[in-house]
Amino acid sequence: MTGQTGPLRRTERLERLLEVSRTLSSTLELGPLLQSIVDVAVELTDSEAVSILLYDSSSGELRFETVPATQGSDLQKLSVPLENSVAGWIFTHTKPMVVQDAATDPRVFRKVDHALHFQTRSLLGLPLRIRAETIGVIEAVNKRGSAHYTEDDLKVLETLAAQAAIAIENARLLARLQQANTELMRLDRMKSDFIAIASHELRTPLGLILGHATFLKEVVPPDYAEQMDVIIKGSMRLKTLVEDMSTISHKEEGQSRVRRELFSMTKMVIDTVSRFQESAVEKQIELGCDVPENDPLMIEADRDKIEVALGNLVRNAITFTDAQGQVGLKAETEGGYIKVFVVDTGIGIPSGEADKIFDRFYQVESHLTRRHGGMGLGLSIAKAMVEMHNGQIWVESKEGTGSLFCMMLPVNERQASSAARVFHT
Ligand code: ADP
């Protein structure tokens, strides 16, 4: 190939450069990528060797990152100082350098030659840059046939240096992303462990407090009834929170299973309205429902789970609606589904937050002034429960006007299976 010049040689060079570009876009593995860049650089610049050196901020020196396979491990143990070396000069001045007669040039760092029993005769080097940052140097050594490095060699090496820099940046970004991901997973695991342990450990003492408080309320003089009620109400609230935590934990551990039974959604809606009537009255909120009079809306689902999901929606609707507001429940069939709506005239949800509120522990920041005592788990639980049935849950809301939550549930297992096919394709 040394004998070839002119257009053919140019086409060959372009093809080889194109090959490197293709490799660059087809793999993220840094080692093989840089190796292929070095190999192509050796070939196209007609050099005895090409190496990539990267700046190591801990030692303040340039470390050999990729070298020709023949010089492998010996060279990779060596580093080059920034002072008194060609590579160091290129790095600190961020400029290319050509040394046509290296044997007599004092700028050449000789230690590497000595260590490898090698003699650097000529050298062409360029800085490796990622945007404004210089990260290292690429060097071609000993132009074959005692020729001089040319302008063409410089251009080829420049192109390859740019590709090497992209490969290195991609690898660094990927490494950072993987590290962040591992850290996130570790934190998520810690959070899950905490939820599992806390909910388990709190359950027993809380049961004792609640049991004894209920017993005491019966026997203490009526003067203390109000205080006892405060204790019981507070403990009940804690119990709900612990149950939420435990539900989430079971769901994560995969311990939650759907146990289907046939029940009437009409009845569940009516019962839920009665269950929350007291809290609604306390807040001066009008709570009612609209269900078909003569249709029980039978559904085959896990009654407890749907009851929890619906309860969470209604509790929120009451919490985030002010006095004189309204909360309404509605149920109807549509195709093989039953849709249950919980509508309120409350404070609504800011646009852009509607999807996030279904995430675990997510609470709308501007709502936190309400001190409603929640933990941001209610909706994620409702979503988990609904999705376990292959159903869907969503919200439509306008800030300051109100919200409409809808749960759409398949009426039976067969419908749930076909829903799974529809939703997952
Ligand atoms: P929690 O109610 O315990 O904070 P949820 O997961 O049930 O947690 O709800 C998450 C957040 O979504 C709430 O903190 C609130 O900001 C918002 N949200 C839920 N339901 C409503 C609603 N009906 N109206 C307005 N905001 C709501």
Residues 124 and 140: their CA atoms lie apart, in Å, by 5
Q: How many structural domains compose the chain?
A: 3
Q: Kindly state whether residues 163 and 229 are assigned to the same domain.
A: no
Please check whether residue 125 lies inside any domain of the structure: yes
Q: Mutual orientation of helices 303-319 and 265-282 as an angle, nearest 10°?
A: 30
In a shared domain, residues 266 and 354: yes
Inter-CA distances, 390 with 156, 218, 321, 334, Å: 57, 46, 30, 15
Same domain, 289 and 394: yes
Answer whether residue 196 is part of any domain.
yes
C-beta separation of 343 from 396 below 8 A: no
* Pair 205, 345 in one domain: no
Residue that terminates a domain, selected from 121, 151, 178:
178
One domain for residues 129 and 106: yes
Taking the centre of ligand 1 as the mean of its atom positions, its distance from the CA of residue 379, in whole angstroms, is: 7
Among 109, 105, 104, 98, CA closest to 148:
98
- Do residues 267 and 301 touch, judged by C-beta distance below 8 A? no
Nearest CA to ligand 1 atom 3: 374
Which residue has its alpha carbon closest to ligand 1 atom 25? 348
Q: How many residues does the chain have?
A: 425
In a domain, 1, yes or no: no
Alpha-carbon span 128 to 374, nearest angstrom: 53
CA distance 323 to 329: 18
Of 248, 363, 386, the residue with max ligand 1 atoms within 8 A of its CB, to mutate for a pocket test, comes to: 363
Tokens 């080889």 -> residue: 16
The residue contributing the CA closest to ligand 1 atom 11 is: 363
Residue 265 shares a structural domain with residue 248: no
Determine the distance separating the centroid of ligand 1 and the alpha carbon of 419, expressed in angstroms: 27
Nearest of 40, 20, 51, 16 to residue 124 by alpha carbon: 51
> Last residue of some domain: 178, 209, 229?
178
- Which residues lie with the beta carbon below 6 Å from any ligand 1 atom? 312, 316-317, 320, 344, 346-349, 357, 362-364, 367, 374-380, 403
Domain stop point among 121, 156, 178: 178
Q: In 10 A of CB 418, how many CB atoms?
A: 12
Q: How far is the CA of 139 from the centre of ligand 1 (A)?
A: 60
Asked whether residue 57 is domain-assigned, the answer is yes
Residue nearest to atom 8 of ligand 1 (CA): 376
User: Do 115 and 78 contact (CB within 8 A), yes or no?
Assistant: yes
Confirm if 304 and 367 have CB atoms less than 8 A apart: no
Residues in CB range of 32: below 8 A, 6 or more apart: 23
84 Cα to the center of ligand 1, angstroms: 65
Best substitution site from 242, 379, 380 to test ligand 1's pocket, by max atoms within 8 Å of Cβ? 379
Q: How far is the CA of 363 from the centre of ligand 1 (A)?
A: 6
User: Is residue 248 one of the residues assigned to a domain?
Assistant: yes
Identify which of 316, 355, 358, 362 to mutate to test ligand 1's pocket (most ligand atoms within 8 A of the CB). Answer: 316
Report if residue 158 sits inside a domain: yes
Which residue range is the domain that position 280 belongs to? 261-423
The residues with which 81 forms a beta bridge, in sequence order, are none
Q: Are 30 and 168 in contact (CB under 8 A)?
A: yes
Gyration radius of the chain's alpha carbons: 35
Pocket test for ligand 1, best of 241, 310, 320 (most atoms within 8 A of CB): 320
Q: Which atom of ligand 1 is nearest to the CA of 348?
A: 25
Q: Residue 373 CA: which ligand 1 atom is closest?
A: 3
Cβ(345)–Cβ(402) below 8 Å: yes
Same structural domain, 198 and 168 = no
C-beta atoms surrounding 182 within 10 Å: 10
pLDDT digit string (tens) for the chain, length 425 residues: 334 444 457 787 788 788 877 777 777 778 888 888 898 899 999 999 999 999 999 999 999 888 766 666 666 677 899 998 999 999 999 999 999 888 777 777 877 777 767 788 999 999 999 888 999 999 999 999 878 999 999 999 999 999 888 888 888 888 899 999 999 999 988 888 888 888 888 989 999 999 999 999 999 998 998 899 999 988 988 888 888 888 888 777 766 778 899 999 999 999 999 999 999 999 999 999 999 989 999 999 999 899 999 999 999 999 999 999 999 999 999 999 999 999 999 999 998 899 899 998 888 887 776 666 678 889 999 999 999 999 999 999 999 999 999 999 999 988 888 877 766 55
Identify the residue whose C-alpha is closest to ligand 1 atom 13. Answer: 363
The residues, ordered by sequence, that sit 6+ positions from 108 with a Cβ below 8 Å of its Cβ are 85, 86, 99, 102, 120, 123
CATH number (domain holding residue 352): 3.30.565.10
Has residue 269 been placed in a domain? yes
- Cα dist from 137 to 86, 90, 373, whole Å: 10, 7, 58
- Rounded Cα distance, 41 and 36, in Å: 8
Statement to judge: residues 159 and 197 lie in one domain = no
Mutate to test the pocket of ligand 1, among 329, 357, 365 (most ligand atoms within 8 A of CB): 357
What are the structure tokens assigned to 138, written together?
A: 């690429």
Q: From residue 350, how far is each of 320, 347, 403 by CA, in Å?
A: 13, 9, 10
Q: Quick one: 336 and 389 in the same domain? A: yes
Nearest CA to ligand 1 atom 21: 316
Q: 31: CA distance to ligand 1 center in Å?
A: 49
On whether residue 2 sits in a domain, the answer given is no
Q: How far is the CA of 9 from the centre of ligand 1 (A)?
A: 69
**Residue 416 and residue 383 share a domain:** yes
Looking at the fold, whether 157 and 280 belong to one and the same domain comes out as no
The enclosing domain of 32 has a CATH number of 3.30.450.40
SS3 of the chain: the string is: CCCCCHHHHHHHHHHHHHHHHHHHHHCCCHHHHHHHHHHHHHHHHCEEEEEEEEEECCCCEEEEEECCHHHHHHHHCCEECCCCCHHHHHHHHCCCEEECCHHHCCCCCHHHHHHHCCCCCCEEEEEEEECCEEEEEEEEEEEHHHCCCCHHHHHHHHHHHHHHHHHHHHHHHHHHHHHHHHHHHHHHHHHHHHHHHHHHHHHHHHHHHHHHHHHHHHHCCHHHHHHHHHHHHHHHHHHHHHHHHHHHHHHHCCCCCCCCEEEEHHHHHHHHHHHHHHHHHHCCCEEEEECCCCCCCEEEECHHHHHHHHHHHHHHHHHCCCCCCEEEEEEEEECCEEEEEEEECCCCCCCCCCCHHHCCCCCCHHHHHHCCCCCCCHHHHHHHHHHHCCCEEEEEEECCCEEEEEEEEECCHHHHHHHHHHHCC
Centre of ligand 1 to C-alpha 21, Å, is: 50
Same domain as 400, residue 356: yes
